[in-house]
Structure 1
Amino acid sequence: MKNLTLRQLRVFAEVARHLSFVRAAEQLHLTPPAVTMQVKELEEAIGLPLFDRQGRKVSLTTGGEYFLVYARRVLATLKDAEVAMARLRHLDTGQLAVGLVATAKYFVPRLLARFRDEHPGIELRLRVSASREELVRLLEAGEVDLAIMGRPPRELVCRAEPFAAHPHVFVAPPGHPVLRADHVAPEALGVWPMVVRERGSGTRALMDRFLDEHRVTPRIAMEMPSNETLKQAVMAGMGLSFLSLHTLGLELRAGELALVEVGHAPVIRTWNVVHLQSRLLSPAAEALRYFILEEGEAFLAEHDRPWLQPR
């Protein structure tokens, strides 16, 4: 079978589809004798008859039925390869909808600006979701091609690829007593009031898990639904908080917030780029996915480095 050709497979599959050499010849723009010759050469290469011919009536043999399964697989794989190559030839055009959780809005636009420098023909649309659940709905409905998020959705059959670390830290207003210590044990966090994200958010779930592991019962002063409101509350002196480091760059640089050096922190999660497995990515989406996986880690490491270095 080493000498089989794709032409023979195509001819065989077409004859099997119509169960007619004449009809297959018409579809392939060949003469009936040419079709007959291709099938005969294929049968000789395999060593088995593929068709029973009784006058004008044609049917598959048992061997032909089995071989048709494999021939179709080969032709389908070749078609997928042709589509993939065609998509890659048109990488620099098209539209792309990117969904992200609110925490990612602090860095994704700058990352996408770099992507646009390399692919100026791709039109980008951002959808910032107020909650993880909303982003999952957008992904499921096909309203976004790719999603940038922390916890991948277990409720969907999707491909989630981690591309960078996502540190979470404890913060306090400048001058807070907790900042007098160079190192704060997790158990000491139970002394101070905290303002925290609402239950159901990824940040809150991560904080609760960290505190539970260290047997800390937090003094919750208030729950809030957004990172921006939390930061304002901490700056106003309402309490400590637990936030993604990627939301804090401006406030840390301005000295409006300070990191609390808590043992076993920062707590590291990962950022993931996610897409549904049931949907073939567009050329633009494939280009962005590759860019994020290649560039995202270095981009965010540079962003995090000044704050994660020991004091």
Structure 2
Amino acid sequence: MRNVTLRQLRCFAAASRLGSFAKAAEELHLTPPAVSMQIKELEGQVGLPLFDRSGRSVSLTVTGEYLLVHARKILATLKDAEDTVARFRGLRSGRLVIGMVSTAEYFLPKLLARFRSEHPEIDIRLFVGNRETLVAALNDNECDLAVMGRPPKELATRAEPFAVHPLVVACPVDHALLAHGRLPPVALANQGFIVREPGSGTRAAMEQFFDDVRISPSVVMEMSSNETIKQAVMAGMGLGFLSLHTIGLELRSKRIAVLDIEGLPLVRRWHVVHTLAKTMSPLAEAFRYFILEHGEAHLAREFGDFAAEQAARQRAQQLS
């Protein structure tokens, strides 16, 4: 394995994490044939297959699982070296790797665009996963920072809140419960819900809310995409427990509505997270400071009207 290259290891690690050569190619800004070639050459160096190929998806062989442990260590050591050198270069250039939960797709790219306008020579890599995926990426030193709602307890991390994160029950605009005004949580007992997959922070928050109010909702469908859940809700297939930050466009265009439920919105916080064991690069430090300074104001501009309306309803109920 003396001729193994870093590009081969990067392709291998990305394909392992994403379960797809095509997705790895998209993340690494390569073509799928280029990724396939890199992995084929790596398998030639190893002398054994690293993936079981089934259609468009791939999974690791036992050999692949063992090699992945060492590949991640090599890539993490290289990233630490890059970060150390970056401290001598300052903020003129460098690479910043940020992980985000899918719910953050609705606001984080705009913040990153503003940040990059201030540092045009930097290279930013952004990848999306559920909470479980991001915790693994932080643990394996695959990202500098992660943006998520519920910070990990499994790792020694520094998790700093930067904005409120309200979660609501979304419904079609013609749903019968909308005519009844404010409702107790028990009104949801017989409703069908379209929910996120296990490992999602939104799914965990929903389950905690229903545990607290002693309700077992009927799950009619499970999906890993907020966009697909919204489409299913608008089609009348069920209710959705979603972040308010994912439905701003649909609320403005009156294509989706929010039920007024006692105890909701469930207000959580957005966090920017990094591991304590990792020395942050100047770029990571700069973006951390940027999101802590500008994140809340940005979300207030984008979604403030709806969040304020929900908060006003809560206050009115408390005073009545």
Indicate yes or no: 2:108 matched with 1:108: yes
Counting only pairs closer than 5 Å after superposition, residues 44-59 of structure 1 correspond to structure 2 as none
Give the superposition deviation at 1:182.
Answer: 2.3
- Aligned Cα root-mean-square deviation (Å): 2.0
For structure 2, the residue ranges without an aligned partner over 5 or more in a row are 1-82, 314-320
Q: Which residue of 1 aligns with 2:282?
A: 283
Give the superposition deviation at 1:165.
Answer: 0.9
Instruction: State the secondary structure of the residue aligned to 1:309.
Output: helix
Give the superposition deviation at 1:241.
Answer: 1.3
Give the superposition deviation at 1:88.
Answer: 8.6
CA shift digits 1:61-107 (9 cap, x unpaired):
xxxxxxxxxxxxxxxxxxxxxx99x9497223221111111111111
1-structure distance, mates of 2:308, 2:218 = 29
Whether the 8 Å CA contact 1:88–1:283 is kept in 2: the answer is no
Counting only pairs closer than 5 Å after superposition, residues 40-119 of structure 1 correspond to structure 2 as 87=87, 90-119=90-119
Instruction: State the secondary structure of the residue aligned to 1:281.
Output: coil
Instruction: Call closer, same or farther: CA 1:309–1:156 in 2, change over 3 Å.
Output: closer
Aligned residue identity for 2:92 = D
- Alignment length, in residue pairs? 227
Aligned residue identity for 1:278 = A
Counting only pairs closer than 5 Å after superposition, residues 1-311 of structure 1 correspond to structure 2 as 87=87, 90-129=90-129, 131-310=130-309
Q: Which residue of 2 aligns with 1:67?
A: none
Larger Rg: 1
1-structure distance, mates of 2:168, 2:145 = 27
2-structure distance, mates of 1:309, 1:288 = 28
For structure 1, the residue ranges without an aligned partner over 5 or more in a row are 1-82
User: TM-score when scaled to structure 1?
Assistant: 0.68
Aligned residue identity for 2:272 = V
2-structure distance, mates of 1:230, 1:274 = 27
Q: Say which is worse superposed, 206-215 or 237-246, in terms of deviation.
A: 206-215
Aligned residue identity for 1:91 = L
1-structure distance, mates of 2:248, 2:92 = 32
Whether the 8 Å CA contact 1:87–1:282 is kept in 2: the answer is yes
1-structure distance, mates of 2:224, 2:148 = 17
CA shift digits 1:110-161 (9 cap, x unpaired):
01111112222222111112x2222122222222111111121222221111
Instruction: Call closer, same or farther: CA 1:284–1:194 in 2, change over 3 Å.
Output: same
Aligned residue identity for 1:147 = A
2-structure distance, mates of 1:99, 1:152 = 13
Instruction: Call closer, same or farther: CA 1:278–1:165 in 2, change over 3 Å.
Output: same
Whether the 8 Å CA contact 2:166–2:307 is kept in 1: the answer is no
Whether the 8 Å CA contact 1:92–1:284 is kept in 2: the answer is no
2-structure distance, mates of 1:88, 1:286 = 14
Whether the 8 Å CA contact 1:98–1:127 is kept in 2: the answer is yes
2-structure distance, mates of 1:146, 1:280 = 11
Q: Say which is worse superposed, 86-95 or 138-147, in terms of deviation.
A: 86-95
2-structure distance, mates of 1:146, 1:209 = 26
Poorly superposed stretches of 4+, deviation over 3 Å: 86-89
Give the superposition deviation at 1:305.
Answer: 1.2
1-structure distance, mates of 2:294, 2:167 = 21
